[in-house]
Amino acid sequence: MNRFYISTAIPYVNADPHIGFGLEVVLTDATARYYRHKLGAENVFALTGTDENSLKNVRAAEDAGEDVVSYVERYANVYRSLQQLLNLSFDDFIRTREERHMRGAQKLWSACKQEDIYKKMYRGLYCVGCETFYTEKEVPDEICPEHKKPLEVVEEENYFFKLSNYQDQLTDLIEKGTLRIVPESRKNEVLSFIRQGLEDFSISRSQERAKHWGVNVPGDESQVMYVWFDALSNYITALGYADGSETYKKFWIENDHRAHVIGKGILRFHAVYWPAILLSAEVPLPHELFVHGYITVEGEKISKSLGNVIHPKTLVDEFGTDAVRYYFLREIPSHGDGDYSKARMEERYSELANQLGNLVGRVATMSVKYFNGQLDDTNKDWSKKEAVLETHMKNYDLRSYIDEVFTIVSDANELTDKKAPFKLVKEDEAAAKAVLSELADMIRFVARSLLPIIPQSAEEILRRYGKVIEVGEPLFPRRDL
């Protein structure tokens, strides 16, 4: 791997972000940070943004009694504020109302083979929440499987994409791993869907039904692009696809590792529709899709009606940014669904404070007290551990990555208790110094490894454990419960 491009999905701006999207941006950011340390910042590009051209957003603005332009801009700024709130290191934030995006989406449409796009009358079952059409076979009860609400019956003339032209090619790409889908269970899910037979899908809406909101179809201003065709193109429009920019060439055309991080609910669009569109337009495909699960709250699905929607800011205000990042990445299974509970958040915070924070403080205090913070270099070879961590990162298994790092934290705590340098120094000063030197080296490796996970705390640990070790304030202060 020479370069690395990674993106999140882009959320609709019809409501505040909740912890489900918080998980996605932190997963993506941690991965990007890891590869920046490995490949150099100039060779990594991380993208997030907002999906603004949907009917869902228009209806939300109408319900709020607001102008749609100011409504989506307001919520786009809320999503942009996650950058500072969660200490995210994204290189760009794309809004799909931007001119660079709209021109790029139109270019992609025009680049698709003429025989792949055609117009016809269509009648279907539609969910505005998913921005998705369902077949009667998929939903015999006409209830959205995602939102559990009755579907709308829509009948109008739209443009369609001939997805059936790409069934065999998509099957081959996914089976061979040319388009790698992680975890394996999601790969199998996609292949099963494709083998049932791909049906052509609608890629436009009438201006009337879209309420004149969206990206106009090139050559036919009576239609706007269906939000998924438009939204998926953000992955290349943000790089400068419209103008063939150097950034687009560097991170899409001439890049050997293009990855998307998405939730399981939008797998079909990213693993089937998006690659087919790119094949038609003769644009290179992504190499990987990492598909994460959902977060429930105290065992319940996140829902406005249940009143359990949690904004990431609520958690950050109480526990701090690094503790929230740590919780998302260690508590929630990387490849499956997970649950948020206040009790588990408290436990994970205590884990950081008692296992990592106390270790850092104890070793620094002894090093300064007995040796003025000046220890010896151990020159320990960490290459085997680094290889294990790299494997976890390649598999987008952040939870196993952190578990591996914390085995070293546990080993260091055990060594501290067993050797008791504060006693040993009275009997054998050189031996005590050797133990503390080993512990300091372990702490530095832990901190380097945790830079993608809890960047602020990891950087502070490395600062304190420089050439001369320093004592500092507790990394994770005791909380008043």
Positive or negative, the CA dihedral 445, 450, 454, 455 is: positive
Residue 149's pLDDT is: 82
pTM: 0.93
Within a domain: residue 313? Answer: no
SS3 sequence, 18-66? Answer: CHHHHHHHHHHHHHHHHHHHHHCHHHEEEEEEEECCCHHHHHHHHHHCC
Residue 305's pLDDT is: 66
Looking at residue 463, the DSSP 8-state letter turns out to be: H
- Beta strand ranges found along 334-440 (DSSP E): 338-340
Reduced to 3 states (helix: H, G, I; strand: E, B; else coil), residue 182 is: strand
Partners of 180 in the β-ladder? 288
Q: How far apart are CA 107 and CA 94, in angstroms?
A: 17
Within a domain: residue 388? Answer: yes
pLDDT tens per residue across span 122-170: 777 877 767 677 777 788 788 887 768 888 887 788 999 999 999 999 9
Half-sphere exposure of 238 (CA within 13 A, CB side): 26
Residue 110's pLDDT is: 98
Encode 431-460: b = buried (16+ Cβ within 10 Å), e = exposed.
ebbbbbbbbbbbbbbbbbbbbbbbbebbeb
Reduced to 3 states (helix: H, G, I; strand: E, B; else coil), residue 258 is: strand
Q: How many residues does the chain have?
A: 481
Within a domain: residue 281? Answer: no
Residue 55's pLDDT is: 85
Positive or negative, the CA dihedral 451, 455, 458, 462 is: positive
> Contact at 8 Å (CB) between 125 and 142?
yes
Within a domain: residue 252? Answer: no
Give the type of residue at 86: L
Within a domain: residue 335? Answer: no
Residue 480's pLDDT is: 67
Q: Give the total number of structural domains in the chain.
A: 1
Residue 102's pLDDT is: 97
Within a domain: residue 145? Answer: no
Encode 87-125: b = buried (16+ Cβ within 10 Å), e = exposed.
bbbbbebbbbbbebbbebbbbbbeebeeebbeeeebebb
Q: Note down the domain range covering 405.
A: 344-481
Within a domain: residue 168? Answer: no
Q: How far is CA 327 from the centre of its chain?
A: 15
Cβ-based neighbour number of residue 181 at 10 Å: 21
Give the type of residue at 470: E
Strand order, beta sheet including 92-95: 92-95, 44-50, 4-8, 258-263, 288-292, 180-182
Within a domain: residue 128? Answer: no
Angle, in degrees to the nearest 10, between helices 312-319 and 321-331: 120
CA-based Rg of the chain, rounded to a whole angstrom?
25
**CATH number, residue 451:** 1.10.730.10
Helix or strand run (H / E) with residue 274: helix 274-281
Instruction: List per-block mean pLDDT (blocks of 10 residues) for the chain, which spans 481 residues.
Output: 96 91 97 98 98 90 94 96 98 97 98 96 76 76 81 86 97 98 97 95 91 95 91 98 98 97 95 98 98 92 79 95 97 94 96 97 98 95 98 97 98 97 96 98 98 98 97 90 56
Q: How far apart are CA 27 and CA 331, in angstroms?
A: 12
